[in-house]
A and B are shown apart, each in its own frame.
Chain A
Amino acid sequence: MSRNFSRRDFLKYTGMGSAAAFAAAYGMPLGTALAQAPPSDTSGHLVIYNFGGTEQQRMFGNAIARFNERYPNVLVEDLYIPWPEGWGHYITNLKLRAASGLKTDIIAIAIEGTRETIFEDLVLPMDDAIAADEDLAAIVDEVEPVLHNALKGPDGQTYYFTREWNNMIIHYNPVKFEEAGLDPPAEDWTWEDFLETALVLTHGEGGDKQFGFGIPFFNFGLTPWWHTNGTATLTEDWSQSNLDDPKMLESVKFVHSLVHEHGVAPSVEGVNPYELFPAGTIAMTGAGRWPFDTYVTTGYKDVDITPWPRKTAGTTVFGSGGWAVSKTTEDVPLALELIKDLAAFETDMEAVAVGTSLPARRSATENELFNSFPANAHRFFGSLEDIKPVPSPANFAEVESIFMRHMSQIMANSLTPEQGLEMAHVELSAAMDKLAERMAGG
């Protein structure tokens, strides 16, 4: 099985050899065709390559049911990958499907994987389709622009329709604050304020030991510390390492000091802050909306949210997910109809109800359900005023693993922040050069 795939082989394998399918696949004369929705008696078979947890399953299952009301003769197969441990595996599996000619019609992926799927030609550009279809245009219009734009390709084309998103925001325990005689954090609090607060909240010994903060120790969870200092691991255009930025060093040193100098956060290895926070071992941590699902089902109430403390900026980070039409689909219009249901307002309302992630539309949050818990739920969408996506170049998985590998050595004190960042910078620069080469040679 020498799978030396040429593009022609690829098309042959994926059953797209015919001229019509080819044209459809490359999106050229699609405009007129798409304006016309397929008749409701259309029959067919659509495959969604999907991910998430149990609540997402239920949510998207309902969207598919709505689609089937409109198209009863279309069989929708919702392939499901449990929470991917890294996007690398998820994407490899997707590529395997494409390489072996298995049909996929709709691809769901998080921002971390969008660039790779665009680069590998797995998804179709959507600008023409959106221009020709009012419903799709409406979906794009209703979604917060910053969310929609983050999923665009490097060419500025839209490939993905926003599915859901999460930011990083401080989760704090109001009861612990009150016990310590602290006011709730101000919306514009600074790193210094944060540290003072965390020091007050750190006390006790042995079984009574309480820490002020639990560091979310993963790439996305650490990013607000860079963004609130006006920097990031990669340059603005995600093309080169930015780890030699003195502000990165400053931020890393601050995170390091939380454990090693001030002792306000437990050592990061082996710690899951989302277990320790409800247990009361830590008084603050950072997350998006995703732990709220568990807070709600376990009846945990002692939590509110507040913006990330700032150094020079109030910028936090977000990650979003999207739906794209797969290049291997045989029926673009039908796939788009399904996306209309998957990305519908109703789905957003369900996202609000289940509490795992934030809906794409602000309008879905303007209700009692969303705003009753936590008390300051409006701060989720409030964060959109000053926010940046998590840097997600096509080699995201590699960037993440290089950075976190060095970061863990810094936190373990086996490298100083200076040494760690310098070594990471060298390695990351080489990886980014390789990516540029790959892009150019693609």
Chain B
Amino acid sequence: MSIKQAGRLPEISPKQREAFVGYLFILPTYIGFIIFILYPLIESMRISFQEFSLLRGSTYVGFDNYVQMFADPRLRISYVNTVTFTLFAVFFNAGVGLILAVMLNRRLPVLMRNLYRSIFFFPVLIAHTYIAVIWRFLYAQDTGVINYYLGVFGVDAIPWLSNAHWAMAAIIILDVWKNTGFAMLVFLAGLQSIPNEYYEAAQLDGANERQLFFRVTIPLLSPTIFFILVIFMIGALQVFDTIIVLTAGGPGDATRSVVLYIYEIAFRTFNMGYAAAVSMTLFAIILALTALQFWISRRWVHYE
């Protein structure tokens, strides 16, 4: 299409043509983006400056909702929990996913590779609400499966869900079980699109396994690694499903994430204005962290 148009408009330079195609390609995405994301986001921002009520009229309250955050100890706890979860969840999801992908990409019987790849990805396919029953049965302190087996070996029952630290660990374990298969799949797709020639060339230079991994695999995989780190960080900072089905934020606030807290403010105390303000700050923080990741990525991500 652009070629035809370019033919009719010969004064368009190649640079302009490229820009035109670029805009054309992002147009469908941007139409949807503006209508279904940007506009609701701006509306949410307006709500964050209101004492919002759906049916009784909202009043503009300036920065009140934002000021309120500084005096909210529960929000602080939620942020600490969220950061803790994010650090561990990103590290283990990406780390385990990468290890599995690398192992699967080694020499393996075909059947074994396909079977294991499916198995590791399987948990991704099942919605959180469906697996809640299973995992609560695994973790229950006195009637649960894990503690039963520990008991067989004479280990005392672990308060998986009723101790603040263990509960966070339980959530991270569930999250890694559920999501690392996704990281594995993306890594595997990335690994397999590294042309063999690179390895062959390195092998000709006498590189060993480890050198191949660090000098060929990692640099060439760096865009994929970067992608996984960004996506898992953004997801972890907004963690909701994993927690609500397992501990619902408890005991107390021990595993309450910021988004879980936002949900509570919005749908239990009906304080939409405050919920929107907290969301906007969370949004700003995630945005800043992502920008930071992009900035740092220039030092270690190699695009072909």
* Chain A directly contacts chain B within the complex, with at least one CB pair under 8 Å: yes
Q: Does residue B46 face the partner (Cβ distance < 8 Å to A)?
A: yes
Q: Are A269 and B267 in contact (CB under 8 A)?
A: no
A5 to B55, Cβ gap below 8 A?
Answer: yes
Instruction: Tell me whether A86 and B251 are in contact (CB under 8 A).
Output: no
B270 within 8 A of A: yes
For residue B276, CB closer than 8 A to chain A, the reply is: no
Does A267 lie within 8 Å of B162, measured CB to CB?
A: yes
Q: Does B235 contact A (CB under 8 A)?
A: no
B250 contacts A408, C-beta separation under 8 Å: yes
**Contact of A270 with B139 at beta-carbon distance under 8 Å, contacts A5-B54, A397-B267, A412-B159 already known:** yes
For B59, the closest partner residue in chain A by CB is A4
CB of A10 within 8 Å of the partner chain = yes
B159 with A99: CB separation less than 8 A: no
A398 touches B139 (CB 8 A): no
Q: Which B residues are in CB contact (< 8 Å) with A99?
A: 54-55
The distance in angstroms between the C-alpha atoms of A395 and B43, with both chains bound, is 26
Tell whether A266 pairs with B268 under 8 Å between CB atoms, given A99-B54, A206-B152: no
Given A1-B43, A5-B57, A266-B141, the answer on whether A88 and B268 have CB atoms closer than 8 Å is yes
Interface size class of A (residues with CB under 8 A): 35 or more
B200 at the interface (CB under 8 A from A): no
The winner among B163, B250, B252, B264 for most chain A CB atoms within 10 A is: B252
- Say yes or no: is A401 at the interface (Cβ < 8 Å to chain B): yes
Collect the chain B residues with CB atoms within 8 Å of residue A270's CB: 136-137, 139-141, 144, 160-161, 246
A121 vs B56: C-alpha distance in the bound complex, in angstroms?
10
Stretch touching chain B among A90-98, A141-149, A154-162, A358-366: A90-98
Say whether B267 contacts A120, CB under 8 Å.
no
Within 8 Å of chain A (Cβ to Cβ): is B254? Answer: yes
What B residues does A397 contact at CB under 8 A?
Answer: 267-270
* CB proximity of A412 to chain B, nearest CB, Å: 4
Q: Is there an interface contact between B251 and A412, defined as CB atoms closer than 8 Å? A: yes
Give a binary string over B256-274; 1 marks a CB under 8 Å from any A CB, 0 the rest.
Answer: 0000000010111110000
B268-A398 in contact (CB<8A): yes
Q: A6 and B57: CB pair below 8 A?
A: yes
Instruction: Determine if A411 is an interface residue (Cβ-Cβ < 8 Å).
Output: yes
Interface string of A245-277 (1 = CB under 8 A from B): 000000000000000000000111111100110
Across the interface, do B267 and A88 meet the contact criterion of CB distance under 8 Å? Answer: yes
A297 vs B46: C-alpha distance when bound (angstroms): 51
Q: Is A35 an interface residue (CB 8 A)?
A: no
Which residue among A270, A400, A412 has the maximum number of chain B CB atoms within 10 Å of its CB? A270
Q: How far is the CA of A148 from the CA of B167 in the complex (A)?
A: 42
Instruction: State whether B252 touches A415 (Cβ < 8 A).
Output: yes
**Chain A 180-198, CB within 8 Å of chain B: the 1/0 string?**
0000000000000000000
Residue A299 at the B interface, CB < 8 A? no
Tell me the smallest distance from the CB of B251 to a CB of chain A, in Å.
4
- Judged by a CB distance under 8 angstroms, whether B148 is at the interface is yes
In the complex, A211 has a CB within 8 A of chain B: yes
How many whole Å from A20's CB to the nearest CB in chain B?
A: 22
Total A-B Cβ pairs within 8 A: 124
Which B residues are CB-close (under 8 A) to A121? 55
Residue from A88, A96, A406, A413 having most chain B Cβ neighbours under 10 A: A88
Interface residues of A in 179-226 (CB under 8 A from B): 206-207, 209, 211
Tell me if A269 and B247 are in contact (CB < 8 A). yes
Is A442 an interface position by the 8 A CB rule? yes
B56 CB contacts on chain A under 8 angstroms: 5, 120, 442
B86 smallest CB distance to A (angstroms): 23
- Report A-chain residues with C-beta under 8 Å of the C-beta of B251: 269, 408-409, 411-412, 414
Contact B162 A4 (CB under 8 A): no
Cβ B159 vs Cβ A401 within 8 A: no
Q: How far is the CA of A272 from the CA of B56 in the complex (A)?
A: 39
Interface status of A281 (Cβ within 8 A of chain B): yes
Q: Across the interface, which residues of B come within 8 angstroms of A409, CB to CB?
A: 250-252
- For B250, list chain A residues within 8 Å (CB): 269, 404-405, 408-409, 412
Tell which of A209, A271, A400, A401 touches B136, judged by Cβ atoms closer than 8 Å. A271
- With both chains docked as a complex, state the minimum distance between the C-beta of B260 and any C-beta of chain A, in angstroms: 11
Q: How far is the CA of A222 from the CA of B53 in the complex (A)?
A: 32
> In the complex, A439 Cα to B143 Cα: how many Å?
45
Mask of B219-238 contacts with A, CB within 8 angstroms, 1/0:
00000000000000000000
Evaluate contact between B143 and A281: CB separation under 8 angstroms: yes
Interface contact A269-B55, CB-CB below 8 Å: no
Chain A contacts of B249 at CB under 8 A? Answer: 405
Q: CB-CB contacts of B6-33 with A at 8 A, as 1s and 0s?
A: 0000000000000000000000000000
- CA gap between A138 and B253 in the complex, in Å: 49
Q: Is the CB of A267 within 8 A of B140?
A: yes
Q: Which residues in window 398-429 of A have CB below 8 A to B?
A: 398, 400-401, 404-406, 408-409, 411-415
- Taking CB atoms, residues of chain A closer than 8 Å to B254 are 414
On whether the beta carbons of A211 and B142 are closer than 8 Å, the reply is yes
Considering the chains assembled together, what is the distance between the CA atoms of A89 and B266 in angstroms? 9
Query: With A209-B142, A267-B142 in contact, is A4–B148 under 8 Å at CB?
Result: no
Chain B min CB distance to A52 (Å):
18
Chain A residues with CB under 8 Å of B267's CB are: 86, 88-89, 92, 397
B124 within 8 A of A: no
Smallest Cβ distance from B181 to chain A, in angstroms? 24
Q: How far is the CB of B247 from chain A (nearest CB, A)?
A: 7
User: Which listed residue, A88, A98, A269, touches B54 by the CB 8 Å rule?
Assistant: A98
Q: Tell me which residues across on chain A come within 8 A of B247, comparing CB atoms.
A: 269
Query: A401 to B268, Cβ gap below 8 A?
Result: yes
Q: Does A395 contact B269, Cβ atoms closer than 8 Å?
A: yes
List CB contacts (< 8 Å) of B111-160 with chain A: 133, 136-137, 139-144, 148, 151-152, 159-160
Instruction: Give bound CA distance, A1 to B52, whole Å.
Output: 13
CB contact between A267 and one of B57, B159, B269, B270 (< 8 Å): that residue:
B159
Known: A99-B55, A398-B269, A412-B159. A269 touches B141 (CB 8 A): yes
Q: Given A3-B54, A206-B151, A270-B136, does the pair A411, B162 have CB atoms closer than 8 Å? A: yes
Residue of A nearest to B43 (CB): A1
Q: List 9 A-B contacts (CB under 8 A).
A: A5-B57, A86-B268, A88-B270, A266-B140, A266-B142, A406-B252, A412-B159, A412-B163, A412-B252
Listed from nearest, the 3 A-B pairs whose CB atoms lie closest are A269-B161, A266-B142, A267-B141
Binding site for A on B (CB under 8 A): 43, 46, 53-58, 133, 136-137, 139-144, 148, 151-152, 159-164, 167, 246-247, 249-254, 264, 266-270
> Which residues of A come within 8 Å of B, CB atoms?
1-6, 10, 86, 88-89, 92, 95-96, 98-99, 120-122, 206-207, 209, 211, 266-272, 275-276, 281, 395, 397-398, 400-401, 404-406, 408-409, 411-415, 431, 442
